[in-house]
């Protein structure tokens, strides 16, 4: 499986290189130089959407653990690590969620409640991205005064809605972890014992899925974070020399996210994200070198924001490893 992930990553990297060469590396570099250091402001700007996303997770976690409160700054940091794992490491799309369970155990003793909140959050996220994509399509229709592209995407959205609905029904009525106990042990590894038996985890998940007001609140927090993230695209395009509207920025961000979700098997969405931004830019009449510069800026922001999060996680794991190793060393 890892070999396949590396193969997809290599293919994506080659595709990205081909895009840069095709569009003209010198032209792209010129656009980036003209934008200059203000592009670094995208780093703190990205922290705000993640804060809202962490609040959405916090809503679900508190619903799973009545009477217990988990500090938002801690969950914010965990959300940063989760995003960095999913976007920068050659793992499946659930890699960040598994790391999130491990890190949340540092503050929350009930691991099954943490796992239930994250599994439920995955379901909420599917519907949130769907709603965000619909907003993006509406942004396209507003920006282009209704072209065939928008209605073609709407038709695709209608067909893709089946995925989130089926997943929600499985969580609501099924017993996925009880029936797939062996697979769950492979996925969660040594953490599965802390989750309790599969039937217990299914029960915690069903309890959360049935609380519609909690789900809606979490979805609103997530959607607010995604909409706020549109400001990154708007700000970057302005710096790169294109007078983008908010509707255009919303369309680019939403459809780019949708493309990455569909190409989950490509590590970090290498090549996929860049090709999507180029295509969407062409629809909106953005010069190819500016569109590719935007894609590279988004990629650079992911790296500059995500690498420190990954390093902080590894530093923490090293401290825990040393502490546990020292404890074993003095044990009789």
- At 97-145, the pLDDT tens digits run 888 888 988 888 788 888 889 999 999 998 998 899 888 887 777 666 6
pLDDT tens, 39-90? Answer: 788 888 889 999 999 999 999 999 988 877 889 999 999 999 999 888 887 6
Structure tokens at 16: 């990205």
Report the alpha-carbon angle 1-297-301, nearest 5.
Answer: 65
Does the pLDDT at position 4 exceed 80? no
Does the pLDDT at position 202 exceed 60? yes
Highest mean pLDDT among 5-9, 204-208, 240-244: 204-208
106 burial via Cβ count (<10 Å: 0-12, 13-18, 19+): exposed
Say how far apart CA 96 and CA 302 lie, in whole Å: 15
Percent of the chain past pLDDT 70, that is, above it, reads 71
Note whether 128 and 223 are within 8 A (CB).
Answer: yes
26 burial via Cβ count (<10 Å: 0-12, 13-18, 19+): exposed
Does the pLDDT at position 22 exceed 70? no
Handedness of CA 216, 219, 221, 226 (dihedral sign): negative
**In 3-state terms, what secondary structure has residue 124?**
helix
Does the pLDDT at position 288 exceed 90? no
Structure tokens at 323: 């502490």
Q: What's this model's pTM, rounded to 2 decimal places? A: 0.80
Model confidence band, residue 191 (pLDDT cutoffs 50, 70, 90): low
Does the pLDDT at position 91 exceed 70? no
Nearest Cα to Cα of residue 251 among 214, 277, 224? 277
Range in 80-89, 141-150, 258-267 with the lowest mean pLDDT? 141-150
241 Cβ neighbours under 8 A, 6+ residues apart: 31, 34, 35, 290
What pLDDT does residue 311 have?
Answer: 93
Does the pLDDT at position 193 exceed 70? no
Say how far apart CA 51 and CA 151 lie, in whole Å: 33
Summarize the confidence of residues 211-227 as an average pLDDT. Answer: 94
What pLDDT does residue 145 have?
Answer: 61
Model confidence band, residue 326 (pLDDT cutoffs 50, 70, 90): low
What pLDDT does residue 292 have?
Answer: 81
Average pLDDT, the chain: 77
Percent of the chain past pLDDT 90, that is, above it, reads 19
What pLDDT does residue 159 have?
Answer: 73
Model confidence band, residue 179 (pLDDT cutoffs 50, 70, 90): low
Highest mean pLDDT among 204-218, 237-251, 264-278: 204-218
Summarize the confidence of residues 270-291 as an average pLDDT. Answer: 78
What pLDDT does residue 270 have?
Answer: 64
């Amino acid at each position: 499986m890892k070999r396949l992930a590396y193969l997809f990553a290599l293919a994506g990297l080659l595709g990205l290189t081909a895009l840069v060469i095709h569009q003209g590396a010198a032209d792209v570099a010129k656009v980036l130089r003209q934008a200059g250091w203000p592009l670094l402001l995208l780093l703190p700007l990205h922290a705000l959407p993640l804060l809202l996303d962490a609040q959405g997770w916090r809503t679900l976690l508190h619903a799973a653990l009545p009477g217990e409160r988990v500090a938002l700054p801690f969950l914010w940091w965990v959300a940063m690590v989760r995003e960095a794992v999913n976007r920068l490491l050659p793992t499946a799309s659930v890699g960040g969620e598994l790391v999130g369970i491990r890190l949340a155990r540092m503050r929350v003793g009930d691991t099954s409640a943490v796992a239930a909140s994250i599994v439920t959050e995955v379901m909420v996220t599917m519907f949130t991205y769907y709603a965000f994509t619909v907003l993006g399509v509406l942004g396209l229709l507003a920006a282009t005064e209704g072209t065939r592209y928008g209605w073609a995407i709407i038709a695709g959205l209608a067909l893709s809605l089946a995925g989130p609905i089926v997943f929600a029904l499985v969580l609501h009525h099924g017993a996925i972890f009880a029936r797939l106990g062996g697979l769950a042990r492979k996925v969660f590894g040594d953490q599965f014992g802390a989750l309790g038996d599969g039937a217990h985890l299914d029960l915690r998940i069903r309890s959360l899925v049935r609380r519609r007001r909690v789900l809606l609140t979490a979805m609103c927090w997530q959607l607010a974070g995604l909409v706020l993230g549109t400001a990154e695209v708007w700000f970057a395009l302005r710096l790169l020399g294109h007078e983008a509207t908010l509707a255009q920025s919303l369309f680019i961000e939403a459809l780019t996210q949708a493309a990455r979700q569909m190409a989950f098997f490509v590590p970090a969405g290498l090549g996929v994200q860049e090709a999507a931004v180029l295509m969407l830019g062409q629809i909106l009449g953005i010069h190819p070198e500016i569109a590719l510069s935007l894609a590279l800026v988004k990629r650079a922001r992911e790296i500059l924001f995500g690498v420190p999060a990954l390093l902080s996680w590894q530093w923490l794991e090293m401290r825990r490893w040393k502490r546990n190793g020292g404890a074993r060393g003095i044990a009789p």
